[in-house]
Structure 1
Amino acid sequence: MSKLPSLAAAAWLNEPALQRLFAVLAAAGGEGRVAGGAVRNALLGEAVTEVDVATTLSPEQVTEACTAAGMGVHPTGIDHGTVTVVVEHHPFEVTTLRHDVETDGRRAKVTFTDDWEADAQRRDFTMNALYCDAQGRIYDFVDGRADVEARRVIFVGDPEQRITEDYLRILRFFRFHARYGHGAPDAAGLQACTRLRSGLDGLSAERIRQEMFKLMAAPGAVPTLQLMAAQGILSHLLPYTDDWRVLARLPPDPVLRLAALASDPASMKSRWRLSNEEGARLRNTIAHVPPSPALRPREQRAILYQLGPGTWCDLVRLAWARSDASLEDAGWQALLDLPLRWNIPVLPVTGHDLIAAGVSPGPEIGVMLRSLEDWWVASDFQPSRDELLKRLNRGT
């Protein structure tokens, strides 16, 4: 095995907040090491955006030591040994070393330990089982560094055992392959995921949504989704279309890709427990006729006014992806850029203006406003406030 590199010069490792946390844990008689994704990304030369810390101290010891040091401590996952420690406005998840004593395919009961290798052996993939101490020394108990460098997503130990501990690891296998993998996925891992795919049926909608949204934003999302479909895995998650060409032509926006992937986009809000905003985006992709470059400029402006820029861009991107046009097509690009070139105007008259003009308050105000707005839009937004009020006085 080649010598492990050092991360001593990494800027994120030398942040004062993180080093202070290390010092507090050490002063309490324990040790803290950065675990998982931060070490993986650092070895890949990718940005480190989140730093999680593993420690030999119990959650109670972490809480006591960090509170005494003036840090904020929140028991965000206390049953599994995790507290969130806020150091100088920087949050860190600090988790006690552990190993599983009982699993049911969704959640695990754990016992705490001070054995770093035991903690590594319970993790999902070798690339996520790396540790780095305060001085930048890397600890690798499962040959994870080699898999990181080869961009191989390999389960720690026996794939079937890892999956039956938590069936969400099936989706994580594909998500990490889509994000980090090169070449074909690990054969043993793929076979285990396929054999155990029915375990996905017992997962919560929220956990499925979280993993699938990350997968659909990954660089290798489309070929990975195709692989999941071929292995009979995708059908456990949603009824889907197989127009992979459209998916490949869309930007890595999970909601937009879901709109193209799902055979019934409107049903996905309840199926995956999407947010109201995500559900509304999906509904809007099927509730409106998409714009086209063949529309005249004033027709484009009228539709953009009615839809708003968000729905406009979603519909244009989907229609463009479904068209035969090149992704460099100038007409479609101009259509997509219309919200950047044209500021959507505001109707120059209000209900107060109508009342001031002598209209009695009541439902008639809304009817008149809608009538004036229709004329204003049909006139390409040109009539001024005075012209609208004159039209009102003419009995419109």
Structure 2
Amino acid sequence: MTTTYRLESQPWMLAEETQRVIGALSKQGQDVRFVGGCVRDAMLGREIKDIDIATPDHPETVIKLLEAGKIKAIPTGLDHGTITAVCNHQVFEITTLRVDVETDGRHATVAYTDNWEEDAARRDLTMNALSCRLDGTVFDPFGGVQDLKENRIRFVGKAETRIEEDALRLLRFFRFQAWYGTDAFDQEGVMAAKTKAPMLKGLSAERIHSELMKLLAAPNPIPVLKVMLEKQIFSHFLPEVRTVDCVEAFIALEGRRDPLVRLVALLDGGEAKEKRSIPDRLRFSTAEKQHFLSLIEPEYGIDASTDEMLFKEALYRIGAGLVSDLLRLQMARDGTSFGHENARSRAKIIENWRPVFFPLQGRDLIQAGVEPGPKMGRLLKATENWWIEQSFKPDHEECLAYALKV
């Protein structure tokens, strides 16, 4: 039985763009509602990210209604009943009410319906099955509001069935636990996840990568990571995870919340060569892959006792962000805190560091009569090393004079 609640009007609900889109879609009296994350987060008083809307109208009708309201309609997911509306640069995802006809753990064959409870029943978690009219009436068919109040992450219906329909829901269960839950887990969901974990091998690397990064971006994912390790969830898609000790220590030290660096901490232990394949396996972007590899096989070995001059050389050559990550990772491995004098000193150096630039270039040597070639390269490198040893202080003229007498 669906229970109704009242949500106070939100700024995004009162916005001109929202009013225009809802007005266009409900022009013929249709029951049009907000669904998903915007309702869930509004109920919690959190900032919303996206505005998703559901309607009983079929996509073709949705397009006609939007165009009649002079709103741009893009058939981004026509096969799945989804149309993207753009109004004054604000984006809305509009989906026709659906019911699953057939699922295989990765994809679902759907049919359209005009039944709101049938549509809600195909969603993964109770807190994601809420819908809300423009007037603030919230419809809750599966106890999602109470679960929100109690920070309880619970599947709609039978947990195993939901996961069998789409294995990604297994990871979403843990991700939502990290963001919305507490240390108390719904045991039916946990046991279903353990039982169905082999299904993760059938998911695309891109979907796993996305969920993993969202999970690791949570303020404190440690309770979730511990349960995932205990229930052998990682063994089916990231078997290199052996402990959460390092990532737990790292989170207590980190200066910024970076899921990629947290992943490196989570993978602590074992040889670097065992981890080199992870970026390709999980379809990292080029930038993510480069940063990941620079953390597991760093150019500089950085810790709280690193010589100050070498520490500054690393800052110059690889940047303060990477040095900071490497320092905190090693401190987490060593069990060092910023209560340690050396650690505080190194952190202060990073904080005060400002990028410096070697003042000598090849064209300067050419103008001074040095022939281009290997000798010039050696002179530049030797001069740069000397400049670093002099704490980056020599200016252009001093560096040129040094190079010409080497």
Per-residue displacement from partner, 1:18-68 (whole Å, max 9, x unpaired)?
A: 111100101155332110111111222222222211112211122222233
Match of 1:271 in 2: 281
Does 1:20 pair with 2:57? no
Does 1:280 pair with 2:285? no
Match of 2:32 in 1: 32
TM-score by length of 2: 0.91
Alignment of 1:123-134 (within 5 A): 123-134=123-134
Residue type of the partner of 1:295?
Answer: T
TM-aligned CA deviation for residue 329 of structure 1? 4.6
User: CA RMSD of the aligned region, Å?
Assistant: 2.0
Picking from 347, 350, 354, the partner of 2:361 is 350
Q: Evaluate the alpha carbon distance shift between residue 238 and residue 390 of structure 1 in structure 2; reply closer, same or farther with a 3 A threshold.
A: same
Match of 2:311 in 1: 300
TM-aligned CA deviation for residue 296 of structure 1? 4.2
Contact 2:153 2:185 in 1 (8 A): yes
TM-aligned CA deviation for residue 188 of structure 1? 1.5
In structure 1, C-alpha distance between the alignment counterparts of 2:151 and 2:277, rounded to whole Å: 36
Per-residue displacement from partner, 1:206-247 (whole Å, max 9, x unpaired)?
A: 100111111111234112111111112111111234342321
Match of 1:102 in 2: 102
In structure 2, C-alpha distance between the alignment counterparts of 1:86 and 1:103, rounded to whole Å: 31
Match of 1:137 in 2: 137
Q: Evaluate the alpha carbon distance shift between residue 134 and residue 385 of structure 1 in structure 2; reply closer, same or farther with a 3 A threshold.
A: same
Match of 1:152 in 2: 152
TM-aligned CA deviation for residue 113 of structure 1? 1.4
In structure 2, C-alpha distance between the alignment counterparts of 1:173 and 1:23, rounded to whole Å: 34
TM-aligned CA deviation for residue 327 of structure 1? 4.8
Contact 1:74 1:83 in 2 (8 A): yes
Q: Evaluate the alpha carbon distance shift between residue 328 and residue 90 of structure 1 in structure 2; reply closer, same or farther with a 3 A threshold.
A: farther
SS in 2 for 1:12: helix
Q: Which runs of 5+ in 2 are unaligned?
A: 252-256
Q: Evaluate the alpha carbon distance shift between residue 387 and residue 158 of structure 1 in structure 2; reply closer, same or farther with a 3 A threshold.
A: same
Match of 1:256 in 2: 261
Picking from 361, 386, 393, the partner of 1:375 is 386
In structure 2, C-alpha distance between the alignment counterparts of 1:86 and 1:364, rounded to whole Å: 60
Q: Evaluate the alpha carbon distance shift between residue 3 and residue 233 of structure 1 in structure 2; reply closer, same or farther with a 3 A threshold.
A: closer
In structure 2, C-alpha distance between the alignment counterparts of 1:210 and 1:133, rounded to whole Å: 30
Q: Evaluate the alpha carbon distance shift between residue 206 and residue 378 of structure 1 in structure 2; reply closer, same or farther with a 3 A threshold.
A: same
Q: Evaluate the alpha carbon distance shift between residue 99 and residue 339 of structure 1 in structure 2; reply closer, same or farther with a 3 A threshold.
A: same
In structure 2, C-alpha distance between the alignment counterparts of 1:98 and 1:393, rounded to whole Å: 76
Match of 1:239 in 2: 239
Alignment of 1:1-396 (within 5 A): 4-251=4-251, 252-262=257-267, 263=270, 264-288=274-298, 289-329=300-340, 331-394=342-405, 396=406
Q: Evaluate the alpha carbon distance shift between residue 325 and residue 88 of structure 1 in structure 2; reply closer, same or farther with a 3 A threshold.
A: same
TM-aligned CA deviation for residue 269 of structure 1? 0.3
In structure 1, C-alpha distance between the alignment counterparts of 2:170 and 2:181, rounded to whole Å: 15
Q: Evaluate the alpha carbon distance shift between residue 192 and residue 296 of structure 1 in structure 2; reply closer, same or farther with a 3 A threshold.
A: closer
> What is the percentage of aligned positions where both structures have the same residue?
39
TM-aligned CA deviation for residue 107 of structure 1? 0.7
Per-residue displacement from partner, 1:292-329 (whole Å, max 9, x unpaired)?
A: 33334333211211221221121012112222223555
Greater Cα shift, 45-54 or 26-35: 26-35
TM-aligned CA deviation for residue 110 of structure 1? 0.8
TM-aligned CA deviation for residue 332 of structure 1? 2.5
TM-aligned CA deviation for residue 366 of structure 1? 2.9
Contact 2:53 2:94 in 1 (8 A): yes
SS in 2 for 1:320: helix
In structure 2, C-alpha distance between the alignment counterparts of 1:73 and 1:360, rounded to whole Å: 63
Contact 1:28 1:65 in 2 (8 A): no
In structure 1, C-alpha distance between the alignment counterparts of 2:102 and 2:54, rounded to whole Å: 21
In structure 1, C-alpha distance between the alignment counterparts of 2:28 and 2:404, rounded to whole Å: 81
In structure 2, C-alpha distance between the alignment counterparts of 1:59 and 1:37, rounded to whole Å: 21
Matched residue count: 395
SS in 1 for 2:391: coil
In structure 2, C-alpha distance between the alignment counterparts of 1:343 and 1:170, rounded to whole Å: 45
Contact 1:241 1:260 in 2 (8 A): no
In structure 2, C-alpha distance between the alignment counterparts of 1:198 and 1:287, rounded to whole Å: 31
In structure 1, C-alpha distance between the alignment counterparts of 2:391 and 2:139, rounded to whole Å: 66
In structure 2, C-alpha distance between the alignment counterparts of 1:328 and 1:300, rounded to whole Å: 19
In structure 2, C-alpha distance between the alignment counterparts of 1:16 and 1:333, rounded to whole Å: 51
In structure 2, C-alpha distance between the alignment counterparts of 1:83 and 1:287, rounded to whole Å: 45
Q: Evaluate the alpha carbon distance shift between residue 310 and residue 183 of structure 1 in structure 2; reply closer, same or farther with a 3 A threshold.
A: closer
Q: Evaluate the alpha carbon distance shift between residue 68 and residue 340 of structure 1 in structure 2; reply closer, same or farther with a 3 A threshold.
A: farther
Residue type of the partner of 1:323?
Answer: D
Contact 1:216 1:257 in 2 (8 A): yes
In structure 2, C-alpha distance between the alignment counterparts of 1:108 and 1:3, rounded to whole Å: 28
Contact 1:31 1:57 in 2 (8 A): no
SS in 1 for 2:76: strand
SS in 2 for 1:266: coil
In structure 1, C-alpha distance between the alignment counterparts of 2:10 and 2:340, rounded to whole Å: 43
